[in-house]
Amino acid sequence: MPSREAWLRYTILAVQREGNRLLAAQLRPVGVTPAQAEVLTVVDAWGPLYLRRLGGLLVCEAGSPSRLVASLVAKGLLERSPDPEDRRRLAIRVTAAGRTAVDAIHRTEQELYALMALKLPGSGSWAEIAAALLAGTASERPLERRGIHPTPDS
């Protein structure tokens, strides 16, 4: 029988995996990954930003987001320009094409949240919410096989 701590760890992982899988599928038409989408929306909301500040605002990347930024610059969704006060620093901004992508990302996120809302109970514990979000998904099966799902007490 897995411990409550194991149940919590793997249930969080499964919920995150399932949410990321759904979001990735919905973002495909926009041409960005979930991590790239987070970078774009953060820069749009908080920008212009420097790489270090951006890294401190992201959930998707614990280290430096330089590869994510570089991929979005290559797609024409972000631009980097020298800081007028310190030419060694590059300010990161959303381009016009990036703003179009951000609008599409926000619509996609709202669609995902609407799907999640359909599955969520009106209220409940983390166990009930996690079980509802994972019900019938590919991420639920490994937990069930290992005796970790649906609740930590079962």
Give the number of domains in the chain. 1
* CATH number for the domain that contains residue 42: 1.10.10.10
Contacts of 148 (CB under 8 A, 6+ apart): 2, 6, 7, 10, 11
153 within a domain of the structure (yes/no): no
The pLDDT, as a whole number, for residue 18 is 87
Q: Is residue 151 part of a domain?
A: no
| Distance from the Cα of residue 53 to its chain's centroid | 18
Which pLDDT does position 133 carry in this prediction?
A: 81
Q: How far apart are CA 103 and CA 42, in angstroms?
A: 13
Residue 152 within any structural domain of the chain: no
154 domain residue, yes or no: no
pLDDT at 153 (0 to 100): 54
In a domain, 80, yes or no: yes
Question: Cβ distance 95 to 78 under 8 Å?
Answer: yes
**pLDDT, tens digit (0-9, with 9 covering 90-100), for 97-129:** 999 999 999 999 999 888 888 877 676 777 788
On whether residue 39 sits in a domain, the answer given is yes
CA distance 94 to 79: 6
Q: Does residue 150 sit within a domain?
A: no
For residue 140, the enclosing domain spans 4-145
Tell me which residue has tokens 């797609």: 75
Q: Evaluate whether 22 touches 108 at the Cβ level (below 8 Å).
A: no
Distance of CA 3 to CAs 11, 13, 154, Å?
12, 15, 11
pLDDT along the chain (154 residues), means of 10: 77 88 94 95 93 87 85 97 82 97 96 83 75 81 72 52
Residue 42 in any domain: the answer is yes
The pLDDT, as a whole number, for residue 71 is: 96
